[in-house]
Amino acid sequence: MQVQAYINGILPRSDFALETGSALLKGRETKENFERILEKETQNLISIQETSGLNYITDGQLFWHDFLRPIAQALSLHSENSNADENPVTRQIYTNTFYRKPLILQKIKNPKKPLISKDFFDIIPKNKRKAILPSPFSLVYLSDGMHRNENGTLNEDVFAELLVDAALALNEEAKRLEKDSDVSFIQFNEPCMCYANEAENFFDDINNALEAAVNGLKAITSLHLYNGDASKFFPQILKFPVKRIGIDAYSTDLSKFANNSFKKFLELGIVNSKNSLIEEPEAIAEYGKQVLKKINPEGLALVPNRPLELVPQHIAIEKIKSLAKGAELLN
């Protein structure tokens, strides 16, 4: 078995890009110059992933602003006569970063335009192109709107319907990425299942939504769970219709996966995206070796425990290099 390595979400912008973005908001910088900086950094981060030897490469999502914004914009998940950039600012789960909360006021329809840009896929080798989308559950759960009662609780029937609507829209985008950009890996990020108490009540609905999201795809598909202990859904998560399951090794009780019972490809979140400590490749390889021995998954990829957006860019780059080197040592 070849142990793989790759990243799984938004990468951080450099301090220079952050300062330029702040100046843009204050009217002291042009949008064109800001986007040129992001374009250059995107190209650099793609090059770093490739030269480090990662098995799959993303564009780093530097243009996304937050992990739901382009999706919300393309699906018009905002108030009438408004846009996704004007949605309310909301704190991300367990972090000091924020996102613009989408607003679902009507049935989610299949998109008439792409949800995300394909601008940088052509500079990634064809067999390594990876795209990252939110899961149907996280997209709807992290939104406000018609599926919320006045007290903020979920209207279960409406929520379940919207899960399928979101899944169909995401499936349409995934098929477009496969066809138009030769993307060979589609990852669905799931920051909410392990965090939200309501997730257990919707397990069958989540499974049905994932079925719709991956329907007809030839690409590798994965669901990366973070912000909590994924073992509480074991072994049910093995039934999910994705080819790979990602977990946060720092918050998941891996002992529950022992005794050779993890019959799926495992994405092991072994690099901690919540602090600036650079993991030693030797330690990464040793931990991966223990997981292979005790859990014996059908396949193994070493990944960050969640998107690396929470650390400075230079730290994220070093973590990427350590991750790749750890996989190399383990192989």
pLDDT of 260 higher than 80: no
Residue 152: predicted pLDDT: 87
Predicted local distance difference test score (pLDDT) of residue 321 = 98
The pLDDT tens digits for 28-59 are 999 999 999 999 999 999 999 999 999 999 99
- pLDDT class of 81 with cuts at 50, 70, 90: confident
**Amino acid at residue number 328:** E
pLDDT at position 112, please?
79
- Residues 272-309 have pLDDT tens digits of 999 999 999 999 999 999 999 999 999 999 999 999 99
* Model confidence pLDDT, tens digit, residues 151-202: 989 999 999 999 999 999 999 999 999 999 999 999 999 999 999 989 999 9
**Alpha helix stretches (DSSP H) within the chain:** 15-25, 31-52, 69-74, 136-141, 156-181, 203-214, 281-294, 313-330
Residue 92: per-residue pLDDT: 84
Q: Give every CB contact of residue 117 below 8 A, 6+ residues apart in sequence.
A: 63, 70
**Per-residue pLDDT for 261 more than 80?**
no
Instruction: Return the SS3 of 250.
Output: coil
Alpha carbons 36 and 50: distance in angstroms, whole number: 21
User: CA 101, 192, 317 angle in degrees (round to 5)?
Assistant: 85
Q: What is the pLDDT of residue 271?
A: 97
pLDDT at position 47, please?
Answer: 98
CATH code at 4-13+54-330: 3.20.20.210
* pLDDT greater than 80 at residue 95: no
- In b/e form, how buried is each residue of 8-44, taking b as 16+ CB within 10 angstroms? bbbbbbbeebeebbeebeeeebeeeebeebbeebbee
Give pLDDT, residue 190.
96
Residue 250's pLDDT is: 95
Reduce the DSSP state of residue 301 to 3 states and report it: strand
Looking at residue 313, what is its pLDDT? Answer: 97
Q: Residue 96: what pLDDT? A: 76
**Dihedral sign, CA of 259, 260, 266, 267?**
positive
How far CA 199 is from CA of 125, 168, 202, 232, 297, in Å, comes to 37, 20, 5, 11, 25
**Mean predicted lDDT score pLDDT of the chain:** 95
pLDDT level of residue 111 (50, 70, 90 thresholds): confident
Q: Provide the pLDDT for residue 283.
A: 98
Of 224, 225, 163, 228, the C-alpha closest to 195 is 228
pLDDT number for residue 58: 97
DSSP code string of 257-295 = GTTT---SEEEEEEE-TTS-----HHHHHHHHHHHHHHT
According to the model, what pLDDT value does residue 22 have? 94
SS3 194: coil
pLDDT at 241: 97
Q: What pTM value is reported for the model?
A: 0.95
Report cis status (omega within 30 of 0) of the bond before 136.
no
